[in-house]
Amino acid sequence: MNNLEIPPEVTPEFTSTDETSLLVIIVDSNPSQKMLRDNPHVLTHCIDSVIAFANSHLMQKAQNKLAVMACHSKTSEFIYPGPNKPLDIRQIDGQYEVFTAVERTVKQNLAKLLVNEKSTLVTESLLAGAIAMALCFIARIQRTKAPGSRLNSRILVVTGSGDSASQYMNYMNVFFTAQKQGIVIDVCALDQHLSLLQQGCDITGGLYLKVPQLQGLLQYLLWVFLPEPPIRQKLVLPPPVKVDYRAACFCHRELIDIGYVCSVCLS
């Protein structure tokens, strides 16, 4: 009988196989995004890629967890796990039931959300609020996890919107909260460069990627965003580009290099 004995002085390593990885994907589903206005089929492509990516995440480890949110100009909602009771799934095509469940739930709930969209559309999406909701979800999961198990969490924001100036304060709040909690924020920008979200990635230690071509979206997602944070140190991933941290003047809303700072509110 060969029993592998670990010598007593070597403490057993806590490898990443013991850690649960929680991924929250925030999909910007605002129909008035520029890329969707030009070609609505992009939405299908994005959603399919995101679902494939989510399933790959679940495939990494049995204990991995997933949540998907949809966000646009008026609301943000969890579409997986959805608000309704889980769908009854039977096996189709030999696909793993969980994957089928993910796919079906996401598409169904998102369609419902878009159908209910009636009023005027604004090109701004409430991403800061969605990130805040994701942070709350992660906090809840962390509170209710089994004692002794470890959990690393990250938020992936997939968006085609531009930077929204009015949410500056909210963004800063969620970024610093995430940094405090040790939650990594990744950003996948599909259309325009997002300097604000890039700062958030920088603060929390996440990755910011502006996808050069939409056709290979799934490939980019799988390569860059699939590894969980503890493993990322061992991989060669796109290095962070120098972030433009210049503050903007509060009265003129222009980026400046040298200026006066209020000693009370730091504006």
Nearer to other proteins, 4 or 115 (CB): 115
> What residue type is 134 in one-letter code?
A
Among 82, 162, 206, 229, binds other proteins (CB under 8 A): 162
Among positions 196-215, residues that touch other proteins (CB under 8 A) are 196, 209, 212-213, 215
Shortest distance, CB of residue 20 to other proteins, whole angstroms?
27
Shortest distance, CB of residue 46 to other proteins, whole angstroms?
10
The candidate with the shortest Cα–Cα distance to 267, out of 168, 125, 194, 135, is: 168
Shortest distance, CB of residue 160 to other proteins, whole angstroms?
13
Nearer to other proteins, 142 or 205 (CB): 205
Q: What is the DSSP letter of 84?
A: S
Shortest distance, CB of residue 145 to other proteins, whole angstroms?
33
Among positions 71-100, residues that touch other proteins (CB under 8 A) are 92-93
Phi and psi for 24 in degrees, rounded to 5?
Answer: -115, 120
Strand duo 65-71 + 150-159: pairing: unpaired
What per-residue string of b and e applies to 144-162 under the rule 16 or more CB within 10 Å gives b? eeeeeeeebbbbbbbbbbb
Binding of other proteins by 151 (CB under 8 A): no
Binding mask 163-182 for other proteins (x = CB under 8 A): xxxxxxx--x----------
Phi and psi for 27 in degrees, rounded to 5?
Answer: -100, 130
* 195: CB partners within 8 A, 6+ apart: 163, 243, 244
Shortest distance, CB of residue 229 to other proteins, whole angstroms?
18
Q: Total residues at the site for other proteins (CB under 8 A)?
A: 64
Nearer to other proteins, 4 or 261 (CB): 261
The span from the CA of 214 to the CA of 58, in Å, is 23
Among positions 34-63, residues that touch other proteins (CB under 8 A) are 36-37, 40-41, 43-45, 47-49, 52
Contact by Cβ (8 Å): 170, 128? yes
Binding mask 13-32 for other proteins (x = CB under 8 A): ------------------xx
Shortest distance, CB of residue 40 to other proteins, whole angstroms?
4
How far is the CA of 218 from the CAs of 109, 177, 192, 203, in angstroms? Answer: 22, 29, 18, 26
* 30: CB partners within 8 A, 6+ apart: 36, 71, 72, 73, 121, 123, 124, 125, 161
Among 59, 87, 136, 241, binds other proteins (CB under 8 A): 241
Where does this chain bind other proteins (CB under 8 A)?
31-32, 36-37, 40-41, 43-45, 47-49, 52, 92-93, 107-108, 110-111, 114-115, 117, 120-124, 162-169, 172, 196, 209, 212-213, 215-220, 223-224, 236, 238-242, 247-251, 253-255, 265, 267
